[in-house]
Amino acid sequence: MKNLITSVIALIALVFSSSAQAQTKTPKLENSLLWEVSGNGLSKPSYLYGTVHMICKPDYFFSEKTKKAFEASSKLVLEINFADPAEMSNMQKMAMGKEPLSKLLNPEQLSKLDGILKKTAGMTVQQVDNFSLMTVMSLISMKSFGCTDIKLYEMELIELAKKRNIAIDGLETVKSQLEIFGNAYSNDEMLTMFEESSQAETTKLVEAYKAENIGNLFDQVTDEKITSEKTKKMILDNRNSNWIKEMPQMMKNESVFFAVGSAHLGGEFGVINLLRKAGYIVKPIMN
């Protein structure tokens, strides 16, 4: 169960980030996962880093430029502060469904889910009956990576922050994030997401991430086949907008290392563009 909870934690934002509809205006961004934020009254520059949340160990990397930026920062801010025991406790509670899937889903949906689980995870719907649909999504997504030795970027960053004894904070809470998720998708949309999850698609995602190709990455993880305009706004645009309200005060007097899902960086309503509209200078760090 511990490993299952860890996978849920790692995949919350990945689920959000990789199931949002493509936006009509996507400013072209340089190929970099790391961006410097300065100007607009900041006493020191802060940094914005895009993660993929989960990746196979052989594919994991943390470049020298990113290490330098992290070491120059006095605070780590993630989407959710997983270093907070209260947040971890809430995650464990929410991994279980409010009601069994056998009651939540109709017979046709249960049959469909059973087929997907057997094909992708070697499990049956009876084995996951007490889990939430989000937990089921984490199981299916883990299988799509095609490996058992997995690294979690957020957890790696937390360990680095603890070694340096710097503060750790979050832009939102487990509760708020799961409420967004629960309101954003219908059960049928969730099942469609499960069907779309495949090792081939995950491989393409990882390749784009390793190349730091923000544009390619954004195009891949914003798929209009599996979500509505309403869902896209809830899981990407609105959250990005909320973060932009929190970030200025956080980085006003100190250098902050913000680490969020890479899909949140690009697009007209992505964090990079919203910070620029707010008056900040946001530039890629290439090497």
At 247 the pLDDT is 97
In eight-state DSSP terms, residue 22 is: P
Classify the C-alpha dihedral 226-190-1-76 as positive or negative: positive
**pLDDT > 70? residue 6:** no
Tell me the pTM. Answer: 0.88
Placement of tokens 């889903």 in the chain? 105
Mean pLDDT of 177-197: 82
Q: Of the given ranges (43-57, 72-86, 186-200), which has the lowest mean pLDDT? A: 186-200
Q: Is the pLDDT of residue 114 over 90?
A: yes
CA distance 220 to 22: 9
The neighbouring-strand residues paired with 169 are: 77
Q: Measure the CA–CA gap between 68 and 24, rounded to whole angstroms.
A: 35
Domain residue spans of the chain? 2-284
pLDDT confidence tier of residue 281, bands split at 50, 70 and 90: very high
Which tokens sit at 193?
A: 């997401």
Cα separation, 110 vs 281, in Å, equals: 50
